[in-house]
Amino acid sequence: MRLSDVPGLTQFTLALALTAFSVPTAGAQEAIERRVNELLGQMTLEEKIGQLNLVSHGPPLRWEDISEGKAGALLNFNSAPDVARAQALARQTRLKIPPLFGLDVLHGFRTQFPLPLGEAAAFSPRISRLASEWAAKEAAFVGVNWTFAPMADLSRDSRWGRIVEGFGEDPTLGAVLTAARVEGFRKGGLAASTKHFAGYGAPQGGRDYDTTYIPRAEMYDTYLPPFRAAVEAGSASFMAAFNALNGEPSTANPWLLTDVLRRQWGFDGFVTSDWVGIGELVNHGIAADGAEAARKAILAGVDMDMMGQLYIKHLPEEVRAGRVPESVIDESVRRVLRTKFRMGLFDRPDIDPSRSDAAFPSPESRQAAREVARETFVLLQNRGDVLPFGPGVRSVAVVGPLADAPHDQMGPHAARGHKEDSVTILEGIRRRAQGAGIAVNHAPACDLFCRNTDGLQAALEAARRSDAVIAVFGEPQELSGEAASRAHLELNGRQAEVLEALAATGKPVALVLMGGRPQVLGPVAERIPSILMTWYPGTEAGPAVADVLFGDVSPSGKLPVTWPRATGQLPFYYNHLPTGRPTKPDNRFTVQYIDEAITPLYPFGWGLSYTQFAYSDTTIAQKRLDAGQMLEVAVSVRNTGAREGQEVVQLYTRDPVASRSRPLRELKAFEKIALKPGETKRVTLRVPVESLGFHLDDGTTLVEAGAIQVFVGGSSLAEPAGEAEIVRTFRIPPMERRAAVSTSVAQ
C-alpha cells in the first residue's frame, strides 16, 4: 500500500504535528520543573523505581507490569496496536505516567536509508538531518517516540563491526553529523538516546565489547566531542557503553556519567544502561551480585536499567537499607519525568491503533532515500574513466551476488525494513538501461558468501557478451554491525578470484562494493579499474546506483575512514601523532612495516568525481589570532571538468610545536558545494581559535601561543595553505561552551 492510498495523508501530516517537539524555552522549562516536582511528590518508592525500568516486548515483560506501574519505558514496541495497548494499560496506573517507546531507529524505519557510516560519507549535515528526520517520521507514525541513536562512537578500527553505525574516525566530522542526526530525529518526532557513552569504538583488537584504554586528555580531544555536540543539539538521553574504559566499566563510571556529562556539560536528561549492561558489571568483576551491580550503576549516574530487571528487583531494598539514598532515586526519576514532559508525552493523545507502517515507503520517502544514497557513494578509483558508462556501452553484464540482494542492501539494524520494498541494484540498472535501450546480462557468479562459484562460467560468458561489467560484491549484512567483529577484512569467500577472472576477460569492469567497513582489496585494486564504494545503500539502492553508474549524477562521497591495505595496519587513522622517526623509505629504523606499505590504500576524506576541481587563491583573513577570534580561510574552487559535480572542501590544521605532540593533521571544518562546469565558488571556512587547542586530563582546553599550519583541499592530502599565529596562551575551563564551527559559500 502507498501512502497516497491510505486514508491518511492528512492523518500522517497531523501525526507529525503532534509528535515533533522542540527544545523548551526557559519559561517552559520552569513550568516543566514544577510539574515534575509535583508529580514526584505523589510517588511511592516503587512507583519511582518503575519509571527507571526499561523492558522489551516479550519476556520477561508481562503486560500487567505496565498497568502495575513497573515499566516506565518500553522497547521494541514497533507497531501501533502494541503501542496503543501499552498506553491504555499505563492509563490504568494511579498516576497515569505515559511510557517511553524506544527502538533502534538508526537509518530508517520502514524505508531504509544508508547506514550511518555511509551517510557520513556524504559529509553533509543536511543529508544527515534529512535521513534522520525521515526515519523518525515513519517510526513516530506508529507510536515510537525514542530512538537508540545516534551512535557517537568514534572508531579507528574497521575490524569492529559496529563502525557501520557511526561516522568513522574523525571528531569534527563526528560532532557535526551527530548534532545533525539528533536534530533530524527530533524534528521527525523521536527523542534521541546518543550512545554508547563512551570509548566503545576503540575495543582492543577490534573485538566488540572488549576493553578500551584511552587517556583522559585523548577522550576529551578525540572521543568525547561528538557526545558533547549531542548534548548541545538537545539529545534527550544517553546510553552507557558496555565496555570498560581504563578498567572502569562505563555502566558504573562516575567520571563519565556524572563528572563529564552532568557537571561539565550540564546535561539534565537521563542515562539508560545498554541491554543488561548493569548485570554485566558482575562479569566485569566489579560487583558480586545483582544488588551490588544495581547500586554501583545508579550511584554512578545510570538512571534506567535496560532489560536487567535489577533496579526493580533490588533498589527498593537498597534504599530501605540505606545503601542508596532516596534522593539519588528522586534525581533519576526527575530526569526521566523531565524528559517525558519535554517531549510532550503527558499532553498527547494515545496512538490510533489502526496506523500501519505499510503506509511506507511512500513516493516521497523513496525519493529522499535515493537522494541520500547517491550522495554517500565514494568513487575510490576510476582508471581509464570506465565510469560513467558512455554512449558506447550498449550492453552490461551485472555480476555478483549482491546485485540482487534485497535483504542485504538494507544493512544491519533495519528496524521495520521489508526486503520486498527494496529496489535491488539489478532492478535499478534494468530500469535505467531499458530507458536507454541498453541490454542487461545478469549472472551472479557465486552464492551470497561467494563460497560456491559454480556460476562463474556463466558470468564470464555474460561478461564476454557485454560492453562493460558491473560487479557487485562485498559484505553480506550478516558480516557487519553488532557482534560482527572480523579478524580478516579481505573480500570474503572467493570474491577476489571471481573478480580476477572477470578482469581477465579484458572487458572494462566497475566494482560496486557493498559493506559496512573498508575491506582489504589486495590485488583487486590493481586489476579492477573502477571501484565505487556504496556501503549499504538501503531501499533505493538500485535507482541510486544506476544514477551514478550511468552518469546522471556524479559521485560526491568522501571517505569518513582511512582505507587500509591490510588488516594488520589497524587501528589506522589519518590524524595520528608525529613520531621521533618519521617514515623514510630507505631507512628501516623509521616508522614502517617490513611487509606492507605504511600508507593507506585510500586516505581519509578521499573520493573522486566525474569532474575535476581546482583550488586557488587561498587566503587567511587574519594571521594573528587571539582568544574569541576565528581562523578564517577562504579558497576559490573551480569545476574544471565538463560535468556538474559536488566537492567537499576540507580544512585541516597542525600545531607544529606545542607542549605536547599534536596530530600531523586535524580536520577542523568542511563544506560541500555544488559546481556547474566552469563555475567557481569562493568558500570561507571558519574555525574558533578555541578549537585549535587541546585538552588536559581534567577537561581544561589549553590553547598555546605559536604557529598553526593550514591545509586546504579535497581530502586529507590537502595542500599547505599558509600559517596563522596564536598570539598568546590561554585556558578554557571545562564548564565553558565552545563556539560552533561555521562556514559560508559565495558565488
Nearer to ligand BGC, 77 or 148 (CB): 148
CB 568: neighbour CB atoms within 10 A? 12
CB atoms within 10 A of CB 239: 27
Residue 403 has what DSSP assignment?
G
Q: Cβ(558)–Cβ(173) under 8 Å?
A: no
Q: Take residue 153 and report the three cell numbers written for it.
A: 562512537
- Nearest residue to 40 via CA among 333, 267, 342, 279: 333
Enter the C-alpha cell of residue 568.
594488520
Strand bridging mode 645-654 / 613-620: unpaired
Q: Helix (H, G, I), strand (E, B), or coil: what is residue 495? A: helix
Nearer to ligand BGC, 106 or 336 (CB): 106
Q: Which is nearer to ligand BGC, 148 or 270 (CB)?
A: 148
Nearer to ligand BGC, 297 or 525 (CB): 297
Catalytic residue among 153, 274, 357, 655: 274
Q: How many CB atoms lie within 10 A of CB 643?
A: 16
Residue of 265, 275, 389, 694 that binds ligand BGC (CB under 6 A): 275
Q: Between residues 278 and 496, which has the closer beta carbon with respect to ligand BGC? A: 278
Q: In the complex with ligand BGC, which residue's Cβ is closer, 157 or 274?
A: 274
C-beta separation of 79 from 104 below 8 A: no
Least distance CB 298 / ligand BGC (angstroms):
20
Q: Which residues contact 693 (CB under 8 A, 6 or more apart)?
A: 701, 702, 703, 704, 732
Would you call 688 helix, strand, or coil by DSSP?
Answer: strand
Q: Min. distance of Cβ 168 from ligand BGC in angstroms?
A: 17
Tell me, by CB under 6 A, how many residues bind ligand BGC.
Answer: 6
Q: Cβ 275 to ligand BGC, closest distance in Å?
A: 4
Cβ nearer to ligand BGC, comparing 12 with 209? 209
CB neighbours of residue 554 within 10 Å: 24
Beta bridge partners of 688: 630
131 in helix, strand or coil?
Answer: helix
CA atoms of 155 and 169, how far apart (whole Å): 5
Match 542508596 to its residue by C-alpha cell. 324
Q: Is 204 left (phi over 0), alpha (psi -120 to 50) or beta?
A: beta
Beta strands in 540-679 (DSSP E): 613-620, 624-625, 630-639, 645-654, 666-675
Cα distance between residue 513 and residue 510, in whole Å: 9
User: In angstroms, rounded to a whole number, what is the distance separating the alpha carbons of residues 446 and 453?
Assistant: 4
State in angstroms the smallest separation of the CB of 192 from ligand BGC.
12
**Which residue type is seen at 51?**
Q
Q: Is 208 in the site for ligand BGC (CB under 6 A)?
A: no
Read out DSSP for 519-541? Answer: -B-TTHHHH-SEEEEEE---TTH
Which residues, including other chains, have CB under 8 Å from residue 136's CB and lie 6 or more apart? 105, 109, 147, 184, 185, 186, 187, 188, 189, 190
Considering only residues 126 to 155 of the shown chain, the ones binding ligand BGC according to CB under 6 A are 148
* Residue number, 152 or 637, with CB nearest to ligand BGC: 152
CB of 242 to ligand BGC, least distance (A): 6
The three grid cell numbers given for residue 509, joined into one nine-digit string: 569492469
Q: How far apart are CA 497 and CA 273, in angstroms?
A: 45
Residue window 654-693: x/- pattern of binding to ligand BGC, with contact defined by CB under 6 A: ----------------------------------------
DSSP 114: P
Q: Least Å distance between CB 104 and ligand BGC? A: 5
Alpha-carbon distances of 480 from 412, 548, 716, rounded to whole Å: 7, 24, 26
Q: Which is nearer to ligand BGC, 148 or 550 (CB)?
A: 148
Residue whose entry in the numeric block shows the C-alpha cell 560519507: 121
Q: Which of residues 100-119 bind ligand BGC (CB under 6 A)?
A: 104
Q: Is 274 a catalytic residue?
A: yes
Closest approach, Cβ 482 to ligand BGC, in A, equals 6
Return the residues of window 297-356 that contact ligand BGC according to CB under 6 A.
Answer: none
The set of residues, in sequence order, having a beta carbon less than 8 Å from that of 453 and lying 6+ positions away, is 445, 446, 494, 497, 498
Kindly state the cell numbers that stand for 223: 572521543
Based on CB atoms, which residue is closest to ligand BGC, 297 or 625?
297
Q: Would you say 55 or 460 has its CB closer to ligand BGC?
A: 55
Considering only residues 129, 137, 156, 195, which one is a binding residue for ligand BGC as defined by CB under 6 A? Answer: 195
Q: Which residue is nearest to ligand BGC (CB)?
A: 148
Q: How far is the CB of 76 from ligand BGC (least distance, A)?
A: 7
Closest CB 272 distance from ligand BGC, rounded Å: 9
Closest CB 101 distance from ligand BGC, rounded Å: 13
Mind giving me the DSSP string for 695-746?
E-TTS-EEE-SEEEEEEEESSTT-EEEEEEEE-S-EEE-TTS--PPPEEEEE
Minimum separation from the CB atom of position 593 to ligand BGC (A): 34
Binding ligand BGC (rule: CB under 6 A), the pick from 153, 157, 170, 274 is: 274
The residue (of 170 and 274) whose beta carbon lies closer to ligand BGC is: 274
Region 441-500 residues binding ligand BGC, contact defined as CB under 6 A: 482
> Could you tell me the smallest distance in angstroms from the CB atom of residue 132 to ligand BGC?
16
Residues with active-site annotation:
274
Give the footprint of ligand BGC on this chain (CB under 6 A): 104, 148, 195, 274-275, 482
